[in-house]
Amino acid sequence: MQVVNRKGEREDVRFDAILEKLSSLTDGLDTDWVDAANLTKLTIEGLYDGVTTRELDQLAAETAASLASHHPDYSKLAARICVDDLHRSTKESFSEVVTDLREFIDPESGAHAPLISEEVYEIIMANKEKLDNYIDYGRDFSYDYFGFKTLERSYLLKLNGEVAERPQHMLMRVAVGIHHGDIEKALETYDLMSQGYFTHATPTLFNSGTPTPQMSSCFLLTMQDDSLVGIYDTLKQCALISKSAGGIGLSIHHIRSKGSYIKGTNGESNGIVPMLRVFNDTARYVDQGGGKRKGSIAIYLEPWHPDIIQFLDLRKNHGKEELRARDLFYALWTPDLFMERVEQNADWSFFCPNECPGLQDAYGEEFKQLYESYEAQGLARETIPARTVWDKVVEAQIETGTPYMLYKDSANMKSNQKNLGTIRSSNLCTEIMEYTSKDEVAVCNLASIALPTYVNNETKQFDFQKLYDVTYHVTGNLNRVIDVNYYPVEEARNSNMRHRPIGLGVQGLADTFAMLGMYFESDEAKALNKEIFETIYFAACTASKDAAIVDGPYSSFKGSPASKGLLQFDLWDMNEHSGRWDWDSLKQEIVEHGMRNSL
C-alpha cells in the first residue's frame, strides 16, 4: 500500500515512519496512557492505497480524538497532529500571510477582495521584522482537538476555501487590529492571549484587522416603534447586525397585542406571533459572518402582555406550524409584582400596551402603582390566576429550555446605567443589562479570562497580582475595541461612544478549584471565588478610572451611581471584602476623576 506525499510522489506506507512522527508529538503527554504504537496500528488499518499524507494526518488525528475517553491527552495529541499538518500547509511568516490575505482576488469576479484592512496592513508591513520574529509557533500546540478544530472551521482566515492563517497569526492579527500603531501594546496583547491568560470575544477574533472590524459580541435593541415602519426598521437593524457577527437581544413589550385596533387601516393587529416568525426567518437567512455562526436573536417580553401564552409556545416542537418560531430564543422580563402574585396565588391581568401605555418604562413601586391603577380602571384584556401563567412558563422551560428568566426591577435598581432611563432587556446570552432607546442600540464589548492559567502548579497558589495585571490590560483593550470598532448601525455607535460598556467574563473556575484541590462547595472555594471576582472588578474599575484621567469619563457618567461613590456591590448592600484591595481610596478617586466605562 502506498501514500501520496505533499510533492505528489508515491511511496510505501511505513509503520516505523508513522510511529516516529506520532511519537515526536507526545512530549509532555502521559505515555503510560497515550500509546503511539497502538495509534499507528489503528491509523494504518483505516488507510487505502493512494491516500495522501494530509488525509493520513487527518485520519490519525480523528483516531486519536476517538481515544480521548481513555485519557484526555489523546485530545491534545490529536490537536498536535492537526497543527503539525497545518504548519506544513501554510506559510510561516506572519507578514507574508498578511500580504496574501491583503492581495486576495475573488476567483469568481476577478475583483480585488482584501481580507486585511489597508491601515492594519501598512502597520504590519512597517513592523514586519519585529512582528515576524516575535511569534512563537510552539504555542499552537497548546490547543486540544476540539479547540483547534473550532478555530480551523470558523476563526482562521481562509483563501479559496483553504486555511491560510495559523492560530498564532490570528492572535497577532487581532492584537495589531486592536492597537494599530502601538506595537508594544499589541505584542503584550499577543503574548497574554497566546499564553492562555485571556481571549477576546468571537467577533473580535473573526474580524479584528479586517476591512470590516466589527468586534462586539451582542447588541441590545428595543423595537423602533409599534408600527409597520418601526417593525421593519428594527428588522433591518437585526439583519445588519447579524451579518456582522453580532448576537441580538430585542425587547418587544410595547408592540400591540392580537386584536388591538389599528387606526391607520381601521383593522386589527395580528399580534406578536406573525411578526416574530418574520424575525425568525431573518435569523435563519442572515447568519453571522457569512456562515461562521447561525444568526441568533433573543426576544424579551413582559408577562403582562396579552400574547404571553402564545409567546411561551413559540419554541415547542408540537402545535400548528404558523404559531411557531423555533429559531429564536425567548426571555421573560419579569417585574417583582408578577412573582409576588404567583407566591400569593393571586390573579394576574394582561394589558395591551397600545391601550395601557407606560408599563414597559416603569419598574419598582412606580410599576406596581401603574399596573394596579389599570386593573382598578377595568382595562385588563383578561385576568387569570398568576400560577396558571407560571405553570405555562415552567412547562415551556421543560420542553424547550426557554424562556430565560430575568428580573426587571433588580436589573434597573442595581445598574450603573439607571440614570439613563429604564432598561428593557438583556442580550442574547443574558449576561449584560443595558439601556436602549430609539436612537441607541446597546453593545456588549467582551473578553474572557482563563482562570486556570493563574494557578501555580508547583506552589498550588493562585496568582492574584497577575490576575490584576491582565485584567487591567484587557480593560484597556476593550476601550480600544470601542474606539476602532466598525458599527453595523449608527445607533450602536451612539450608544457605545456615550456609555462605553465592557464585560469581563471568566472560564475554568471549576478547573481552578480542582487544580488547587478544593471541593466545589467548600468554604475555601467560596472564599477563592469571591476574591477572584473582587480582584477582577477592582482591576477593571482602576483601569477605567485611570483611563478617565487621560481621556475623560464616559459622557453620561454624571448622575450615575458610580459618580456618587456607589459601585456594584453597594447597590446590592454587600460590603464584605477580602482586605486585599483598597476600595475606599478607589471610590474617592472615581468620584473625583470619573470612569471611562459605564459597565
> Which pTM does this prediction carry?
0.92
* Band (293; pLDDT cuts 50, 70, 90): low
Confidence of residue 136 (pLDDT cuts 50, 70, 90): very high
How much is the average pLDDT of 339-361?
97
Give which of 251, 157, 252, 248 is closest to 489, Cα–Cα: 248
Other Cβ atoms closer than 10 A to 234: 23
* Catalytic site residue from 207, 280, 416, 427: 427
- Record the cell numbers describing residue 14, joined without a space: 511505513
pLDDT at residue 590, rounded to an integer: 98
Residue keyed to cell 459618580: 563
71: three-class secondary structure by DSSP: coil
Catalytic site includes residue 427: yes
d(CA 591, CA 469): 23
pLDDT the model gives residue 421: 96
- Decide if domain 218-413 falls under CATH 3.20.70.20: yes
Q: How far apart are CA 321 and CA 331, in angstroms?
A: 21
Average of per-residue pLDDT across 38-45: 91
Residues 247/232, Cβ–Cβ less than 8 Å? no
Q: Work out the pLDDT band at 151, boundaries 50, 70, 90.
A: very high
Instruction: Characterise 449 by phi-psi region: left (phi > 0), alpha (psi -120 to 50), beta (else).
Output: beta
Mean pLDDT over 483-490 rounds to 96
- Helices 94-102 and 167-179: angle between axes, nearest 10 degrees: 70
List the chain domain ranges: 1-89, 90-187, 218-413, 447-593
Q: Are strands 51-52 and 2-4 parallel, antiparallel or unpaired?
A: parallel
β partners of residue 504: 447
Is position 429 annotated as part of the catalytic site?
Answer: yes
Phi, psi of 105 (to 5 degrees): -115, 130
Residue 463 is which amino acid?
D
Q: Considering the candidates 268, 395, 431, 524, report the single residue annotated as catalytic.
A: 431
Out of 218, 429, 444, 541, the active site residue is 429
* Each residue's pLDDT tens digit, 554-596: 999 999 999 999 999 999 998 888 999 999 999 999 999 999 9
Averaged pLDDT for residues 33-56? 90
Question: Residue 263's pLDDT is what?
Answer: 81
Contacts of residue 398, defined as CB under 8 A and 6 or more positions apart, other chains included, come to none
Task: Determine the average pLDDT of the residues in 487-514.
Answer: 97
Do 117 and 210 touch, CB atoms closer than 8 A? yes
Beta bridge partners of 397: none
Lowest-confidence segment of 34-38, 92-96, 260-264, 444-448 by average pLDDT: 260-264
Dump pLDDT digits (tens) for 247-272. 999 999 999 999 888 887 888 889 99
Residue 238 designated active-site: no
**Selection from 226, 220, 414 nearest residue 331 by Cα:** 220
ω into 107 cis (within 30 of 0): no
Q: What is the rounded average pLDDT of the residues 75-103?
A: 97
d(CA 546, CA 471): 13
Averaged pLDDT for residues 174-186:
98
